Amino acid sequence: MIRRLKQAAIVIVVAFAAAQLVRPERANPTTDVTRTIQAHMPARSALVAVLDRSCRDCHSNQTVWPRYTQVAPLSWLMAQAVKEGRKALNFSEWAEYQPAQQRLLLAISCDDATSGKMPGAYTLVRPETRLSSQDVETICAAARQADTGAAGGSR
């Protein structure tokens, strides 16, 4: 019995060590700051502060890669979350979206924040990314304002 446990422990240690050799890409593409959501929001926007604190790591080209993202399998999970997050919505590429897309993305962001879908499980490793009720209201107010601005501009 003890021999089997030792063998199992050795297999687990070897598998963990081998997993460290599989390194996902953790690059941050260059960003033209004039194309970011920050450049398209009023100075001192509360929305920008919320996005920078709670959304930046997965939804921008300015991801902070803490040390734990260098250890598999967490490195794989973080790299995949960033890849999917940037694909769904990239605040660093805000100017790439048409105005109607921007309004829709803000509305979806409001829905995801309200339902607790975002920032999701990431708050387990980065508790400071949790959204307060005020943060959620800030996101939703920006979505309403964008929608109202579009409706007002089309009259």
**pLDDT tens digits along 121-147:** 889 889 999 999 999 999 999 999 988
What does each C-alpha distance from 64 to 7, 89, 131 come to in angstroms?
A: 38, 17, 18
CA distance 80 to 120: 14
CA distance 12 to 52: 38
Closest CA to 88 of 74, 72, 109, 62: 109
pLDDT at position 150, please? 66
What's the whole-model pTM score? Answer: 0.83
Conformation bin of residue 30: beta by default, left when phi > 0, alpha when psi is -120 to 50: beta
Contacts of 120 (CB under 8 A, 6+ apart): none
In the predicted structure, residue 23 carries a pLDDT above the cut 80: yes
Closest CA to 138 of 35, 29, 76, 55: 55
What does each C-alpha distance from 9 to 22, 71, 138 come to in angstroms?
A: 21, 19, 49
- Six token digits for residue 105: 């993305």
DSSP labels for 45-81?
-HHHHHHHHHTHHHHSS-----GGGGSTTHHHHHHHH
pLDDT at position 154, please? 41
pLDDT at position 153, please? 45
**pLDDT tens digits along 60-98:** 999 999 888 889 998 999 999 999 999 999 999 999 999
Contact between residue 38 and residue 48 where contact means Cβ atoms under 8 Å apart: yes
